[in-house]
Amino acid sequence: MHDPSYDARVSTSHARGEGQRRGVASTPERSPRRVVGAALLALLAGSCAARRAPTEPPPVALEPIPVSDPGSALPEGWQRGVFMEIYVRGYQDSDGDGVGDLRGVIQRLDYLAELGVAGLWLMPVTASEDHDHGYAVADYRAVEPDYGALEDLDALVAAAHARGIGVILDYVLNHSAAAHPAFLRSQRGEEDPFRAWYLWEKPPPQGWRIYGGDPWRVSLSSAGSAYFAGFSDRMPDFNLRNPEVVRWHHDNLRFWLNRGIDGFRFDAVGNLVENGPAAWENQPENHLLLGEVRQLAEAYERRFLVCEAPADPPAYAAASSCGAAFAFGRQGVFVAAARGDRGAILELASLMRAPTPGLVPFASNHDAFAGERLFDQLGGDVALLRLAAATYLLQPGPAFIYYGEEIGLAGAATLQGDARLRTPMSWTGDRRTGGFTTAQPFRALARNVEAFNVAAQLADAGSLLTFYRRLLALRRAVPALAAGVDDLVTAQDQVLHLRRSLGGSHAVIAFNYGASAAPALLAGLPAGAALAPAFPPELASVTVDGQGRATVALPARAVAVFTYQD
């Protein structure tokens, strides 16, 4: 999502609202308009460009795009791996203008491959009005000029695939930029075919309050009318009850999938359709829309979708909806458990005993409402950072790291809101550039750039970066960790342990969240089984006794992983 401090959404629940497309009883103005004949289609496609006035908006790309699957260069099951969320503007500048770009990400692919990630989530790279966070999309089929061109994205995808890494893009279904040609045309009046692409009412409906404000924005260019925009007046909501709009989005998605993109992260899907001022979030129509998108993606080989729906992640994780959703709410449980909070440890055990399929764990992301940078949440305590990382990265299924987390990247001391979380990556300890650029960075660096950077940690076998590398290598080496099913889950005081099984292969995982050494008392295991040490490297083997019990001595704030076979 985007920060309300710069044309973004004001959200603490990350729920979003919109009104008319969905709220007020259906009116002729809001009902989908029929496309009348080939002549109108030609007009919409801009075939009459020669007769346009100089101020007329550019054409909207409307040509249908059929499925043309290039196949997948990725291994079976790559979608269960660990992804890296990357803010391209803040990752690596390749051309010395102080702004990160796609060629810069290409330069860092070897680092990401050595870290062990299976996929990249690129925050919006489409051309935007905001030229920053990217969620105000101005062109759904073009790359943000600051980042490069379509050819650069193609090159990134090819280079990532050559290393076995997938690439998914951020996609915004809910709204466009106010500068999008379709919205500019919708402002011209009720007779314009694009009017029905957005939510317009005259007079503005009353009684709506979303994020402390009225989502109905009075338009100075369309007398007496108001359009619905739940997050910002610069991000008008699409009318997703209009099948033409939905078909257009589907064509946009196929545009990217046909180029070899491996899937999408969908933004703010809890707010796609509204049914009134008291029913503007998580409406049934949202799931129908996402189910269609999921079916579209299933026409391609080995693609991956994940949705952002903070107010009700399980509903969107369902196979009838998006199929996967970020596990909002659990990031706080992971952090609290790492601090040794007994209630959080018990809650974590309960979640493991009754898993919800499709929920995807993370510890922090680009939105302040989801929490500060993990380093800042845990006061820079590296032992706690390791424990939090192990807690969520050893959950089954895919998981997402926010760029820089693996080196303990902190927020910027001089910034507020989301911008504080979206600082340039610290590649070196250079206080001026952080190795991110050769010029002046577009934004302040992390406050701990001198001590916590990639160059310093690559030279330290005991660094946080080394820990992340070993943890991701462990997931790849032990298939049960990413694809298995949990049982024997036990939480006692500040110790949590469990078994995860995949066929005849088993992993036994034990956490000590306390500040003192403690034993993990394992039970229910096969008598006489030999538990082979898997993580950390210094771990010793353990033999299960005749009653199916074993005791593992755990240092303070530590994790241990063993394996055995039936």
Does position 53 have pLDDT exceeding 70, yes or no?
A: no
**Residue 223: pLDDT band with limits 50, 70, 90:** confident
What is the pLDDT at residue 20?
Answer: 31
Does position 39 have pLDDT exceeding 90, yes or no?
A: no
Average pLDDT, the chain: 91
pLDDT (mean) for 511-515:
98
**Residue 35: pLDDT band with limits 50, 70, 90:** very low
C-alpha dihedral, 295 to 299 to 301 to 304, nearest 10°: -20
Rounded Cα distance between 446 and 370, Å, is: 19
What is the pLDDT at residue 107?
Answer: 98
pLDDT (mean) for 26-41:
31
pTM: 0.91
Does position 480 have pLDDT exceeding 90, yes or no?
A: yes
User: What are the residues whose beta carbons fall under 8 Å from the beta carbon of 380, sequence distance 6 or more?
Assistant: 408, 410, 448
Rounded Cα distance between 464 and 335, Å, is: 16
pLDDT (mean) for 479-487:
97
Does position 225 have pLDDT exceeding 90, yes or no?
A: yes
Rounded Cα distance between 39 and 62, Å, is: 14
> How do residues 281-311 score in pLDDT, each as one tens digit?
999 999 999 999 999 999 999 999 999 999 9
> How do residues 110-153 score in pLDDT, each as one tens digit?
999 999 999 999 999 999 999 999 999 999 999 999 999 999 99
H/E segment holding residue 293: helix 284-297
Does position 10 have pLDDT exceeding 50, yes or no?
A: no
Does position 93 have pLDDT exceeding 70, yes or no?
A: yes
What is the pLDDT at residue 1?
Answer: 54
Does position 73 have pLDDT exceeding 70, yes or no?
A: yes
**Residue 55: pLDDT band with limits 50, 70, 90:** confident
